[in-house]
Amino acid sequence: MTKIPVGVLGATGIVGQQYIALLADHPWFEVRYAAASPRSAGKKYAEATAGRRHFADHVYTNIGDLVVRDANDVSQAIAAAKAGDCAFVFSALDMGKDEIRSLEEAYAAAGIPVVSNASAHRWTADVPMLIAEVNPDHADIIPIQRKNRGWDKGFIAVKPNCSIQSYMTPIRALLNAGYEVTRLMVTTLQAVSGAGYPGVPSLDIIDNIVPYIGGEEEKSEREPLKILGEVKGNAIESASLPRISAFCNRTPVTDGHIACISLEFGAKKPSIEEVKGIWTAFTALPQELDLPMAPKRPIIVREEADRPQPRKDRDADKAMAVSVGRIRPCNVFDLRFVGLSHNTVRGAAGGGILNAELLKAKGYL
């Protein structure tokens, strides 16, 4: 099969590099267009990333000669699209929210679909915020989005913040099994890669914890509600439950976000064994469609007393699985557990690629 040519916006940043790395051997997609800030524009990819590379060498040799374009200049992407080098783009743009919002719209308006990692459009009413296993049906707002905006081929789909990905799939599985979640308390212990590069200064994090990540708690409390919402009319209507309270901490870990979660259920409450059974058995559309980036089992239940741990579990199943453990009754609510996912793969580039695979399988790409 001929691979679909794709572009990466923000290709030289850490998430952009993660996209390039994960797409290096992808069976469906092939990176043929890379764009970044004007500073990188005109340089070969190898040169533009020199001195700030985060992945294995072959990532940079494979597409090292690709000339990086200016992400602000949509006309270059249009030209590439015409030349058959850019069927859609992954957006890992790193600039002001308003700029990203306009720029992603400009790509979409030009007929180039945007599968985005950025937060700019997460709260745009007709833009789906997708976790492929959790709300794949939200993709079906795309025809409405196109109609709303008069776009024929382009569209925008986003993914949520990395911090919530360690527990949204487990919650979806419980909801599917008929257990309403009314309240949720979460404290995260997040890796430094979540802040990009250079990101967190080492002087702030060696032998230390920073109990604050700007904007992260608000995202953790709001985004789940849109994801658990429904397409109604021209928009996605957020769910009203669960109520969520979040603490987000930065910890001296390279990759892998831990979340400590307590849940309160509605009237119907599962036993601990039921919960484990539900999670172990859970699969969703990406698994049914056997999408290349989909983990075989979206949720891995660990029985050891001291797992999941970032260094030992973050890479499970291509770093795309969510590992859960310490599943037990909560002394205050109903259920407690610890969730873990790889923040730059499952929570960023890998999740974006899986979304694109889903959108392709659904016929939107």
Catalytic residue annotation? 162, 257
93, 108 contact by CB (below 8 A): no
- Least Å distance, CB 294 to a second copy, is 18
Q: Whose Cβ is closer to a second copy: residue 17's or residue 117's?
A: 17
- Least Å distance, CB 70 to a second copy, is 25
What's the CA gap between 344 and 310, in Å, rounded? 13
Region from 15-23, 131-139, 166-174, 193-201 binding a second copy, contact rule CB under 8 A: 193-201
**Is residue 270 involved in binding a second copy (CB under 8 A)?**
no
**Is residue 330 involved in binding a second copy (CB under 8 A)?**
yes
16, 10 contact by CB (below 8 A): yes
Here the tokens at position 214 are 């700007």
Give residue 363's identity as a one-letter amino acid code. G
204, 228 contact by CB (below 8 A): no
2-37 as b/e, with b when 16 or more CB fall inside 10 Å? eebbbbbbbbbbbbbbbbbbbbbebebbbbbbbbbb
**Is residue 276 involved in binding a second copy (CB under 8 A)?**
no
DSSP state, residue 178: T
CA 298 centroid distance within chain: 14
Which residue from 7, 13, 308, 351 is in contact with a second copy, where contact means CB under 8 A? Answer: 308
- Least Å distance, CB 92 to a second copy, is 16
Number of residues that bind a second copy (CB under 8 A): 64
Give residue 255's identity as a one-letter amino acid code. D
Region from 37-45, 119-127, 153-161, 329-337 binding a second copy, contact rule CB under 8 A: 329-337
Q: Whose Cβ is closer to a second copy: residue 117's or residue 193's?
A: 193
Contacts (CB under 8 A) with a second copy, residues 226-245: 243-245
What's the CA gap between 83 and 77, in Å, rounded? 10
Contacts (CB under 8 A) with a second copy, residues 119-158: none
Contacts (CB under 8 A) with a second copy, residues 67-126: none
What's the CA gap between 357 and 343, in Å, rounded? 19
Here the tokens at position 136 are 């794949």
Q: Whose Cβ is closer to a second copy: residue 237's or residue 304's?
A: 304
Which residue from 165, 169, 251, 343 is in contact with a second copy, where contact means CB under 8 A? Answer: 251
Contact track, a second copy, 286-305, x by CB under 8 A: ------------------xx
Contacts (CB under 8 A) with a second copy, residues 40-59: 50-51, 53-54, 56-57
DSSP 60-86: HHHTTTSBPEETT-HHHHHHHHHTTS-
Here the tokens at position 326 are 């310490």
In degrees, to the nearest 5, what angle opens at C-alpha 322 toward C-alphas 268 and 88?
115
Beta bridge partner(s), residue 264: 183
**Is residue 30 involved in binding a second copy (CB under 8 A)?**
no
**Is residue 221 involved in binding a second copy (CB under 8 A)?**
yes
**Is residue 273 involved in binding a second copy (CB under 8 A)?**
no
Positions touching a second copy (CB under 8 A) are 14, 50-51, 53-54, 56-57, 183-185, 187, 189, 192-193, 197-212, 214, 221, 243-247, 249, 251-254, 258, 260, 262, 304-312, 315-316, 325-326, 330-333, 336, 338
